[in-house]
Structure 1
């Protein structure tokens, strides 16, 4: 199985058993919410759709975007990202990871953003499962 790993330079800080997730944040200047839906594959993280609630500095809405429920929806054809590198500082605020409609701040798994560690990476990784207590040889 493939999981989502969070960390830096190949060092895993957290590993989540998810096949899809949404990465969400508020633009640090414009305060506009941005969301990106990803699928976790062996090749990397595949961006399936993005949504933005408005435009602003560095947040241009693509020409082919469609407006639905107050957000602009669009797709970008990108190669799988492996890793996805995110800037993460206290001034910009924290990202949220959303799974099955529930969003939680990334700090839940990797601690609060700091200026001494201004980046984090997300990538697909091999699942590591602990053996069950009933069957210590099970994976």
Structure 2
């Protein structure tokens, strides 16, 4: 089964049997929540839609965004990412990974963000034991 791998430079730290997920975080300065919905495909993780709940430093609302339920919704046409690289530091706080029903910090699978390991990558992979 195709799923989501978390790690760095091809080293797998965790595997999740997810066909899709939402990546969420709070802007480090403005403390405004951002959310991005991804589909996990054999080509990589494909951005479906993104939402932001406000504007601020470096947080311009993209052209064509629509305000709905208190958030600006928008889509960006871009190829699947393989991998999706995220900066992850103690100062910025942790990302949340949501499976549709629940959200959990990445620290659930990876431990807390550390200055010595300031990045993580997400990519589509064959999830072991889930074929």
TM-score normalised by length of structure 2:
0.97
TM-score normalised by length of structure 1:
0.92
Which 4+ stretches in 1 moved above 6 angstroms? none
Consecutive unaligned residues of structure 2, counting only runs of 5 or more, are none
Hey, what's the Cα distance between the residues in 1 that align with 2:17 and 2:40? 10
The alignment yields a C-alpha RMSD, in angstroms, of 1.0
Shift of 1:56: 1.3
Shift of 1:126: 1.1
Which digits, 9 at most, give the CA deviation of each residue in 1:44-87, with x for residues without a partner?
A: 00000000000112211012000001000000001000000000
1:54-73 to 2 correspondences below 5 Å: 54-73=54-73
1:1-139 to 2 correspondences below 5 Å: 1-129=1-129
Hey, what's the Cα distance between the residues in 2 that align with 1:128 and 1:11? 14
The structure that has the greater radius of gyration is 1
Consecutive unaligned residues of structure 1, counting only runs of 5 or more, are 131-138
Shift of 1:101: 2.6
Task: Give the total of aligned pairs.
Answer: 131
Is the partner of 2:91 in helix, strand or coil? coil
Hey, what's the Cα distance between the residues in 1 that align with 2:86 and 2:28? 13
Which digits, 9 at most, give the CA deviation of each residue in 1:105-139, with x for residues without a partner?
A: 00000000000000000000112107xxxxxxxx5
